[in-house]
Amino acid sequence: MGTKTDRRDYRATVRAVAEAYGRDPGFIIPMLQDLQTDLGYVPPEAAKEMAELLHVPLTQIYSVATFYKSFSLVPRGKHIITICMGTVCYLKGGREISALIQSRLGVGPGNTTADRLFTYQPVNCLGACALAPVMVIDDQYFDKVKLGHVPDILETYAKKDERDRDRD
Amino acid sequence: MSVTEIATKKVTCAADLERVRAESSLRASVETVSVAVCTSTGCGAKGAERVFAALEEALRGLPAEAREVTLKRTGCHGFCERGPIVVVQPGDIFYQNVREEDVPEIVRETVLNGRVVESLLYEDSETGRRCVSSTEIPFYRKQRRIVLEHHGLIDPTSIDDYIAVGGYRGLTKALTEMTPEQVIAEVELSGLRGRGGGGFPTGRKWRSCAQAAGELRYVICNGDEGDPGAFMDRSIMEANPYGVIEGMTIGAYAIGASEAFIYVRNEYPLAVVRLQQAIENAREWGLLGENILGTGFSLDIRINRGGGAFVCGESTALMASLQGEPGEPRAKYVHTVESGLHGRPTCLNNVETWVNVPTIVTRGGEWFASIGTERSKGTKVFSLVGNVCNTGLVEVPMGMTLREIVYDIGGGVPEGKALKAVQTGGPSGGCIPEKLLDSPVDFDQLSELGSMMGSGGLIVMDEDTCMVNVARYFVDFLREESCGKCTACREGVAQMSHILNRICAGEGREGDVELLLDLCEIAEEAALCALGTTVPNPVRSTIKHFGEEYDEHIRKKHCSAGQCRGLFEYRIVADTCTGCGLCRKACPQDAISGERKKPHVIDQAKCVQCGACLEVCSFSAIAKV
């Protein structure tokens, strides 16, 4: 796919997001957040488009998009697996769960599986320490997770996805 | 009168508000039965929404002649360990660990017949007695709830509920009976200190900001609660968003600001939703926006979501982030009260600090100052977590000892294990050993112990915790979160992390501890912001109180707590192993072998120390040695 096509695809979305904040560069963070909500990530071409619309150098958009952890410059998986690495979760087995997920999916922190099904994303603390160790897939919380649960949970999502594809 | 009818009415003066309050309270007293379900993050994760849906359906199915029943969602009760929590009025009946299947019984017995369902009550493990009301539960008995007073009582989406329990009394009093100067004086009198960690006197901050030169001023609420193991602010924003907004409105009046921002952590989606809704409702009611309560005072509040950077909890970094820049702190030669957001005078306080404000204005600074210790007034909310029986949010007067908090409220350490340390203050805090648990908790005492109050995380660690690993965890955390602007933090913390990781991998050398202490000194002296200058706390406190563990790692290459991979082994205790084969099946490495009903063995060459065998063994036959 050529670069030009990409930019045309994103142009309307970027414009709408920028207009919502009056094209004020002070709102780059919420703009990028909205953009990521719409597109699933911040495509480099969309970032370029935004820089032009706001009349700021592209480096300014990039400095923000790369500083904050919540932004992704590459497409993310269909399901986001979040593992809490807060102190309590870490001490109660979060570290082992994280290692197990990484070895099963074959991806490191922040990365996405080749089939684009899962993105693995450890976070500092979800503030749900009573449930430690906590794992969240999309919006679904899994509390007091044990190593033994992990394969089944991943399998459920993979199977569900297979069924969805069959239906399509 | 229904809530929607009231909601369309704008409150234009203090008398209006009092009328609404009277109507709301009247309605509450007429309602015979109310069922409140906590749907905050903790209970929500355990299925509270399903319980709520089941209750909704069951109540809809009741015959028309059945008494009128109100069903509502509330915020966090604090006892997250026992969620989902459902409270039925009258009688203040506190049901815990409620599941969907329990709903028919609750409706049949309690809602329709006023009988208590014994099996859903909390059982006091010491006396074996079932507690009907939350006030009978040991977890709540020693608490003093000011900040959390309305949690679990009010529907966080209903401004009506908030007004009925006395909400907006503080704002009314401030706007109609007090000058800005008097409000500041009241907050000064209260002795309130910032709950975000630093403990700076709030009144003094307000005064400096009010006196700073400039027309336009800003008020900011710091809801970027980043300390791992701390969730007080999330709970407050989710359960009592109007309290935060009212506090900020009073603050804005006192310092003369007309614009305010709430900066909420990206990981707290529910808090954003609740605050957004509260702001819209307050605006609709005329309690925010132009000409509040007809007094001519105007304020608008905006919410900004954080981008996922721990350092943004630091005030100057947060302000940079609000300006759309990377969240890098700056040196504070000029204070933010004089030149903060967009170079204008800015007053930033933490969520819990703001929530204290309406109560201080309503009940007076003197009353507030009567609670707590000499230099730390009021209460403090802690998130009591880790190896403790009653995990949750607790609010206690300043000055209570750590032992009282951990044992009397928290119920001690589970499984009869010994307590090793209590960690306070997040990554910038320190570890306090068991022998110092009788110290009273306040800002100054905790600093003296080499830790800090921080935002209020209180993590209990049992005997199986490796303190070197704990230090490594926090230093790794801070290395990861360092913004990289100043050398002392960027390079110094990275070196500390490198050394600690070496020690935990069994490659520690003589002199490592001394080197760590040197680096601590440099970070403390030279780092730009508190993220860097407080790095020494976790390192020094563990070296000071648990030095023998460093020795063991460095000299004997052994971790007796069994947490540092490679410095211990998983072994099967032949005497206790029944040969059930569960561990053999669970092992992802096929490292376990043995015949059925005969003791198994682990092939150490294949073992990756994942711990799966330990997790599945029901006979305690797997040991870490």
CB A128 to CB B42 under 8 A?
A: yes
Task: Examine the domain organization and report whether A57 and A125 are in the same domain.
Answer: no
Q: pTM for the full model?
A: 0.91
Same domain assignment for residues A46 and A109: no
Closest CA–CA distance from residue A144 to any residue of chain B (Å): 10
The tens digit of pLDDT for each residue in B305-344 reads: 998 889 999 999 999 999 999 999 998 888 999 999 999 9
B209 and B341 together in one domain: yes
Whether B22 maps to a domain, the answer reads no
Does B386 lie in the same domain as B306? Answer: no
Give the pLDDT of residue B30: 59
* Contact at CB, A87 and B386, closer than 8 angstroms: yes
Predicted pLDDT of residue B1 = 38
Asked whether residue B576 carries a pLDDT value surpassing 70, the answer given is yes
Q: Is residue B445 part of a domain?
A: yes
Q: Which residues contact B465 (CB under 8 A, 6 or more apart)?
A: A91, B387, B420, B421, B561, B563
Question: 10 Å Cβ neighbour count for B470?
Answer: 26
B599 touches chain A (CB under 8 A): no
| Residue where a domain terminates, one of B446, B462, B478 | B462
Considering the domain architecture, whether residues B271 and B330 belong to the same structural domain is answered as yes
- pLDDT of A42 reads 94
Say if residue B563's pLDDT is above 60: yes
A25 contacts in chain B (CB < 8 Å): 324
Which B-chain residues 223-252 have CB contacts (< 8 A) with chain A?
A: 225-231, 234-235
| B388 domain residue, yes or no | yes
Question: What's the average model confidence in pLDDT over A38-61?
Answer: 94
Residue B288 confidence (pLDDT): 96
Domain membership of residue B564 (yes or no) is: no
pLDDT at A9: 77
Range in B13-22, B570-579, B584-593 with the lowest mean pLDDT: B13-22
Is the Cβ of B52 closer than 8 Å to some Cβ of chain A?
Answer: no
What CATH number does the domain containing A127 carry? 3.40.30.10
Of A68, A85, A127, the CB nearest to B231: A127
Q: Confirm if B430 and B424 have CB atoms less than 8 A apart.
A: yes
pLDDT band of A8, cuts 50, 70, 90: low
pLDDT > 50? residue B136: yes
Do the domain assignments include residue A72? Answer: no
Number of domains in chain B: 5
Q: Is B560 domain-assigned?
A: no
Relative to beta strand B122-123, strand B130-131 is antiparallel
Q: Which two tokens stand for residue B263?
A: 């900066």
A129/B386 Cβ within 8 A: yes
Please tell me whether residue B81 adopts helix, strand or coil conformation.
Answer: helix
Q: Does the residue A73 lie in any domain?
A: no
ipTM: 0.89
Buried b (16+ CB within 10 A) or exposed e, B445-469: bbbebbbbbbbbbbbbbbebbbbbb
A87 and A25 both lie in a single domain: no
Interacting residues of A29 by C-beta distance below 8 A, sequence separation 6+: A64, A68, B304, B305, B307, B321, B324
> B385, B477, B478: best mutation site toward chain A, by most A Cβ within 10 Å?
B385
- Chain B residues with CB under 8 Å of A127 CB are 41, 225, 230-231, 234-235, 267-268, 383
Same structural domain, B357 and B424: no
Residue A7 has pLDDT above 80, yes or no: no
Residue A151 lies in a domain: yes
- Tell me, yes or no, whether B124 and B166 share the same domain: no
Q: Give a yes or no: residue A128 inside a domain.
A: yes
The reported pLDDT for the residue numbered B2 is 40
Q: How far is B39 from B84, CA to CA, in rounded Å? A: 8
Q: Do A29 and B477 touch (CB under 8 A)?
A: no
Of all residues in chain B, what percent carry a pLDDT higher than 70?
97
Based on the fold, state whether residues A8 and A55 are members of the same structural domain. yes
Same domain assignment for residues B232 and B311 = yes
CA closest to B328 among chain A residues: A67
What residues make up the domain containing A9? 3-67
Q: How far apart (Å, rounded) are the C-alpha atoms in residues B286 and B300?
A: 11
**What is the reported pLDDT for A1?**
39
Q: What's chain B's average pLDDT?
A: 92
How many residues are recorded in chain A?
Answer: 168
Asked if A128 lies within 8 A of B228 by C-beta distance, the reply is no
Over pLDDT 90: what percentage of chain A? 64
Please state, rounded to an integer, the average pLDDT across all residues of chain A.
89
Confidence of residue A89 (pLDDT cuts 50, 70, 90): very high
For chain A, list residues whose CB is within 8 angstroms of any CB belonging to chain B: 25-30, 33, 63-64, 67-71, 85-88, 90-91, 93, 96, 99-100, 123-132, 134, 141, 143, 146-148
Tell me which residues of chain B, numbers 178 to 217, contact chain A at a CB-CB cutoff of 8 Å: none
Q: How far apart are CA B134 and CA B141, in angstroms?
A: 8
Considering only CB atoms, which chain A residues are within 8 Å of B417? none
pLDDT at position B431 is 95
Q: What integer pLDDT is reported at residue B141 of this predicted model?
A: 92
> What pLDDT band is residue B26 in, cutting at 50, 70 and 90?
low
CATH of the domain at B388: 3.10.20.600
Residues B361 and B284 in one domain: yes
Per-residue model confidence as pLDDT tens digits over B374-397: 999 999 999 999 999 999 999 999
Pick from A21, A91, A146, A154 the residue to mutate for testing the B interface (most B CBs within 10 Å): A91
B335 residue type, one letter = H
Checking if the pLDDT of B608 tops 80, the result is: yes
The H-or-E segment that residue B348 falls in is: strand B346-350
Same domain, A91 and A55: no
User: Which of B349, B369, B389 is a domain's end point?
Assistant: B369
The domain that holds B320 is classified in CATH as 3.40.50.11540
My answer on whether B395 and B275 are in the same domain is: no
Number of domains in chain A: 2
Q: Which chain B residues are Cβ-neighbours of A100 within 8 angstroms?
A: 588, 610
Provide the token pair at A151: 């394969």
Query: Among B462, B480, B512, which residue terminates a domain?
Result: B462
Out of A88, A130, A134, the one facing B81 most closely (by C-beta) is: A130
Cα(B575)–Cα(B560) distance, rounded to whole angstroms?
A: 22
**Same domain? B344 vs B388:** no
Assess whether B167 and B118 both reside in one domain.
no
A74 in any annotated domain: no
Cα torsion B466, B468, B473, B476 to 10°: value is -160
Output the domain CATH number for residue B131: 3.40.30.10
Alpha helices by DSSP H, listed for chain A, are 3-20, 28-39, 44-54, 58-67, 87-89, 95-105, 149-167
Report the pLDDT value the prediction gives residue B109, as an integer from 0 to 100: 94
Whether B152 is covered by a domain: the verdict is: no
- B44:A33 CB<8 A: no
Q: What tens digit of pLDDT does each residue of A13-44 get?
A: 999 999 999 999 888 999 999 999 899 899 99
Chain A contact set for B477 (CB, 8 A):
124
Q: Which two tokens stand for residue B110?
A: 């309690």
Give contacts of B 145-174 with A, CB under 8 A: none
A141 in Cβ contact with B45 (< 8 Å): yes
Is residue B9 in some structural domain?
no
Closest CA to B25 of B153, B147, B134, B144: B153
Residues of chain B contacting residue A123, judged by C-beta atoms under 8 Å apart: 267, 308
Per-residue confidence (pLDDT) for residue A6, from 0 to 100: 55
Question: How many whole angstroms separate alpha carbon B546 and alpha carbon B433?
Answer: 8
- What confidence tens digit (pLDDT) does each residue in B528-553 have? 998 999 999 999 999 999 999 999 99
Q: Domain containing B590 — which CATH number?
A: 3.30.70.20
Instruction: Say if B206 falls within a structural domain.
Output: yes
> Which helix or strand (DSSP H or E) is residue B538 part of?
helix B536-555
In angstroms, the CA A89 to CA B377 distance is 32
Residues B102 and B175 in one domain: no
Asked whether the beta carbons of residue A96 and residue B611 sit closer than 8 angstroms, the reply is yes
Q: What is the pLDDT of residue B526?
A: 95
Last residue of a domain, one of A43, A67, A91: A67
For residues B362 and B485, membership in a common domain is answered with: no
Our CA-based measurement puts residue A89 at a distance from the nearest CA of chain B, in whole angstroms, of: 8
* Predicted pLDDT of residue A97: 93
Range of the domain at B480: 467-555
